[in-house]
Amino acid sequence: MTVPAHTARIAVSDLPSALAAVRERGLRLSCARRIVLEALYEADGPLTAEEIARSGRCDLASVYRNVEALETAGLVRHLHVGHGPGLYLPAAAAVELIVCERCGARADVDPRVTADVRAAVQAATGFTPHFDHFPLAGLCPRCAYDRQEG
Amino acid sequence: MTVPAHTARIAVSDLPSALAAVRERGLRLSCARRIVLEALYEADGPLTAEEIARSGRCDLASVYRNVEALETAGLVRHLHVGHGPGLYLPAAAAVELIVCERCGARADVDPRVTADVRAAVQAATGFTPHFDHFPLAGLCPRCAYDRQEG
């Protein structure tokens, strides 16, 4: 995760196009790169490096090395969730999340809502908030309830 | 920063009250604890452990140990800014920030704006966003301009 968050991203929407894009960029399509891309395109949401390694029976160091190479190539991006490890996903995935600080539960945020938030914060501060690298953090309904009761 | 983000916070608004609160809780008011509290109450905004150490000519390990003890006691809290080190501030400080992912510039966000954002995200997802532990991240006007031009 030493790759800048705003590397130009390649918009490929499926695994075959992602594999083709690796070759088109003159990168070697190693076994580990194929495993990383397969895991990310088949997942329902962002994955940790450990999850990628487990899914492909690939060693963790190799996963880290290859997500970084694929991120530099613009095919993968990462986001940060609370105190936990980084999460990886296809670069073009338009995922905007809110993550529970307590239990790690995640929910998608409707792009219309994030667009409104962006506009309100920009009008107030001049800064443009992004939610794709550092998602919104907070409490899920259950943890908010537990906290109120506790 | 292994302290849970939602330790009960003690609302003391100035340094003398904070020093008194340390004693009232039966904690020793060591030289290092005094240095940490002085630095945080005199600062214009959140400080890194390095900045606290520099301000009080105190060693860094001692700063880390004592911000943690003061956080457990409810007098100090921390927040996370981008990929950078944690930042510390008095627990009661009602600071809500947006931080530039590129250059680290910070701006306060009006509490009325964060209240609106909280309501909109809660209505859409059921989750309650908090901005006091993981502040909003984005681009400051200058970095947004540079990115557009570059």
Classify residue B10 by its DSSP letter: P
Per-residue confidence (pLDDT) for residue B7, from 0 to 100? 62
Contact across the interface for A137 and B125, Cβ inside 8 Å? no
Tens of pLDDT along B12-65? 889 999 999 999 988 899 999 999 999 999 998 899 999 999 988 889 999 999
Least Cα separation, residue A135 to chain B (angstroms): 8
Residue type, B148: Q
Q: Which residue has the higher pLDDT, A87 or A9?
A: A87
In whole angstroms, give the CA distance from residue B32 to residue B61: 10
Q: pLDDT value at position A116?
A: 92
pLDDT in tens, A96-143: 889 898 888 889 999 999 999 999 999 999 999 988 888 899 999 999
Round the average pLDDT of chain B to a whole number and report it. Answer: 89
CA distance B1 to chain A (A): 9
Query: What mean pLDDT comes out for the span B63-79?
Result: 94
3-state secondary structure of B46: coil
Higher pLDDT, A108 or B1: A108
- Between CA B119 and CA B121 the distance in angstroms is 6
